[in-house]
Amino acid sequence: MIFLYVLLAYIILVWIVGRVIIPHLGFVREKIPATIPLELQSKIEELNSSSKDDKDFLQKSYAYITQKYTGSRLKTVTQFWRAFNNVFAQSSGFLPCTGQNFLLRTLLVRSGRFTESDIKVKTVPLNFFIHQYLLVRVDGAWIAVDPWASFLKVPFGRKLVFFG
């Protein structure tokens, strides 16, 4: 019986309360802001001009995010407060999956190559903490993109499956 109470408390705290209070993790997708930092807009223009097609742009955007930011199981717990920071203000280093995905969505949508309907924000089931990744539609096919999990050697086109 105690196990059921603990399980219920976990579900309520992590899967419901967490999605209400943690930015970019909610039940409703946050809109991409109308204005973004000039540095990010310049990066989008640079990536856009050097990309031969939408998939190339997606791969280059993924590479930009994974080179600049990293995921970490330990820091997800010890630096949980970073999930509440302004993602545009963080220059580099650890950034939770929610922040990395929001930045990647921003790059994709602001490039003009993708619309919000081309991007699905998904969560990994059976995970101790909520972990999210993106599905991006390119030429009619859905590509899994999980920049946070790149530190675990999860490559472009794949997603973390269990226990992020």
Domain membership flag for residue 6 = no
Q: What is the tens place of the pLDDT at every residue in 41-100?
A: 999 999 999 999 999 999 999 999 999 999 988 887 788 778 778 889 888 899 999 999
Domain membership flag for residue 95 = yes
Domain membership flag for residue 91 = yes
17-23 contacts at long range (C-beta below 8 A, 24 or more positions apart): 18/129, 18/130, 19/130, 22/83, 22/84, 22/98, 22/130, 23/83, 23/84, 23/98, 23/99, 23/102
**Residue span of the structural domain in which 115 resides:** 31-152
Domain membership flag for residue 17 = no
Q: What is the tens place of the pLDDT at every residue in 138-158?
A: 999 999 999 999 999 999 999
Residue 163 has pLDDT above 80, yes or no: no
Total-model pTM: 0.85
Domain membership flag for residue 139 = yes
Query: Quick one: tokens of 157?
Result: 């086109």
Domain membership flag for residue 121 = yes
Query: Quick one: tokens of 21?
Result: 């209070």
Domain membership flag for residue 133 = yes
Q: How many domains does the chain have?
A: 1
